[in-house]
Structure 1
Amino acid sequence: MKKLGLATALLLAMTGAQAYQFEVQGQSEYIDITVNDKDFTGGLQGTYYLKDVDSSKGPLAEAAFLNQASNVSVAYNYGELSFVPGMDLIAHNYGIKAEAYVPTQVVPVYTSLSYSHTHLDGKNANTSDDNGDRYALELGAVVVPNFLVAVGYTSVADQTAIDAFNLMGNGVVKAVAETATIGQDQDAITARTKYVGAIDDTNMAIGFESGLIYGDDTAFQLKTDLYVTPKLSMGASYAESSFAGTPDSAWGANVNYFITPAVAVGATYVNANAEQGSVLDTQTVGVNAKFRF
């Protein structure tokens, strides 16, 4: 009976179940830098939602956001990196995060808390081992339906520490640039907005996101997605940092498709340019997949 129940649950997930409580996603990026074209990253993230998420309304990719679904996530990222000549390291990145939406008489209140740990394993005499931790807290509200505004505080005890969930969601170029922007200040203020809304008289929707981080330097990010159907989306992004040790700006494109309401695949591309020092010019190509049950 247990085997039959498991097989039934798997079949429902693969053929189009409209509610889910778990999501597992994986991603990998190939990194082409001026000094090296052999770097790559890979990551896994698992999310548990405290209540079933109804995916029958709106874009499938934004079901959790539209449902204001409180959740707990864990993530792990692996990377083989050599950003500068002579450097050779393996990066391990771990994270845990909790998000909560709390109904009130005025507006739903949003809060999130996350912790990430990064371990760098140097593989030659020019690259030493290193470890770093970072903590982040956000507070905000869904000020109008499907429009989130949040501000936060991030503490980076060591600049080695990368946000594991930023790495999973936005890729290695933007995640590394964010940490570098904080710099030696160790404390940073963040702000972000997110909106998803239907396009009248169609089954399409549009999404917008913006983000700002202020530490030793300042960086911001803009992103938009067009949900051509609830299953298919295409998006574009732009990010910029005032920190001289990273690419000055980066633009990206992505496409995602849900084969069923429970299984999705996607691809990303990022092109980052440095105004001074082409050694920092970077291109990444990524693939990702999600499975919900």
Structure 2
Amino acid sequence: MKKLGLATALLLAMTGAQAYQFEVQGQSEYIDNTVNDKNFTGAVQGTYYFKNVDSSKGPLAEAAFLNQASNVSVAYNYGEYDVDADDSDFVAHTYGAKAEAYIPTKFVPAYVSASYNHTKLDGKGGEADDQGDRYALELGAVVAPNFLVAVGYTSVADQASLDAFNIMNNGVAKAALESATINDDQDAITARTKYVGAIDGTNMAIGFETGLVYGEQTAYNLGTTLFVTPKLSVNASYMKSNFTESPNSAWGTNVNYFITPAVAVGASYVNANAEKGSVYDTETVGVNAKFRF
């Protein structure tokens, strides 16, 4: 009976179940920079939603956001980095845990999130081992239908620490740019907005995201997503920091497609242009997949 139940649940997920409570996603990026083209990352994230998420309305990619679905997540990222120019050669392990909650109030739904990440760097050759932690807290509200505004505080005790969820959502190049922006200042203030809305008279939708990081330096990011159909989305994004090293900006694009309401695949590209004289001109190409049940 247990085997039959498991097989039935798997069949429903594969053939188009409209509600889910778990999501598992994986991602891998190939990193090509001026001094090396053999770097790569691999990441996995699991999310549990406290209530079933209804994916029958709106873009499938934003079902959890549209449902204001409270959840807990864990993530892991593995990366190999080898830069010939300065003997930087190490393997990075980043672990993360995160919780998000939407809380009904008399006025508007309130939003709160908290996360913890730990990064361990295993140095190779002349590179020393390192490790670090980061903590983050966000408070906000859904000030209008499907429009979230949030501000936060991030404590980065060591620059070796990256955000596993940032890597998963935006790629390793942008996550590294965010960490370099905070730099030696262990405290950072963050702010972001997110909106998803239907395009009248069509089955399409549009999404916008903005973000700000204020640490040792300041960075902002902008993104827009066109949901061509509830299954297919195309995104473009840009991030810029005012720190003096290079690269200090990155633009990217990604495409995601839901084969069924429970299974999605995608591809991404990020270009971090280095200034003249820098050896860190970087491009990343990624693939990802999601499975919901």
TM-score range, shorter chain: over 0.9
Q: What is the TM-score with the length of structure 1 in the denominator?
A: 0.98
Any conservation in 2 of the 1:241–1:247 contact (CA below 8 Å)? no
SS at match of 1:82: strand
How many angstroms apart in 2 are the aligned matches of 1:175 and 1:84? 22
Any conservation in 1 of the 2:246–2:275 contact (CA below 8 Å)? no
Cα deviation digits, residues 249-282 of structure 1 (max 9, x gap): 1111110000000000000001111224331210
Residue 84 of structure 1, CA deviation? 5.5
Any conservation in 2 of the 1:53–1:67 contact (CA below 8 Å)? yes
How many angstroms apart in 1 are the aligned matches of 2:105 and 2:265? 36
Any conservation in 1 of the 2:31–2:40 contact (CA below 8 Å)? yes
Any conservation in 1 of the 2:259–2:265 contact (CA below 8 Å)? yes
Residue 247 of structure 1, CA deviation? 1.1
SS at match of 2:61: helix
Cα deviation digits, residues 41-79 of structure 1 (max 9, x gap): 000000000000000000000000000000000000000
Large movers: runs of 4+ above 6 Å: none
Identify the residue that residue 287 of structure 2 maps to in structure 1. 287
How many angstroms apart in 1 are the aligned matches of 2:96 and 2:9? 29
Identify the residue that residue 235 of structure 1 maps to in structure 2. 235
How many angstroms apart in 1 are the aligned matches of 2:149 and 2:277? 36
How many angstroms apart in 2 are the aligned matches of 1:38 and 1:138? 36
**In structure 1, what residue type is equivalent to 2:71?**
N
Identify the residue that residue 13 of structure 1 maps to in structure 2. 13
**In structure 2, what residue type is equivalent to 1:40?**
F
Identify the residue that residue 130 of structure 1 maps to in structure 2. 130
SS at match of 1:128: coil
Residue 123 of structure 1, CA deviation? 1.2
Unaligned runs of 5+ in 1: none
Identify the residue that residue 211 of structure 2 maps to in structure 1. 211
Pairing 1:116–2:124 present = no
Unaligned runs of 5+ in 2: none
Identity over aligned residues, as a percent? 77
Any conservation in 2 of the 1:177–1:246 contact (CA below 8 Å)? no
Any conservation in 2 of the 1:225–1:234 contact (CA below 8 Å)? yes
How many angstroms apart in 2 are the aligned matches of 1:230 and 1:33? 35
How many angstroms apart in 2 are the aligned matches of 1:31 and 1:170? 14
Aligned residues: 292
CA distance 1:83–1:224, shift in 2 (3 Å): farther
Any conservation in 1 of the 2:246–2:278 contact (CA below 8 Å)? no
How many angstroms apart in 2 are the aligned matches of 1:256 and 1:156? 32
How many angstroms apart in 2 are the aligned matches of 1:152 and 1:197? 24
Any conservation in 1 of the 2:29–2:41 contact (CA below 8 Å)? yes
**In structure 2, what residue type is equivalent to 1:217?**
Q
How many angstroms apart in 1 are the aligned matches of 2:145 and 2:152? 21
CA distance 1:137–1:58, shift in 2 (3 Å): same
Aligned pairs for 1:13-162 (under 5 A) are 13-83=13-83, 85=85, 86-124=87-125, 126-162=126-162
How many angstroms apart in 2 are the aligned matches of 1:199 and 1:123? 52
Pairing 1:245–2:233 present = no
Q: What is the TM-score with the length of structure 2 in the denominator?
A: 0.98
How many angstroms apart in 1 are the aligned matches of 2:277 and 2:116? 33
Cα RMSD after superposing both structures: 0.8
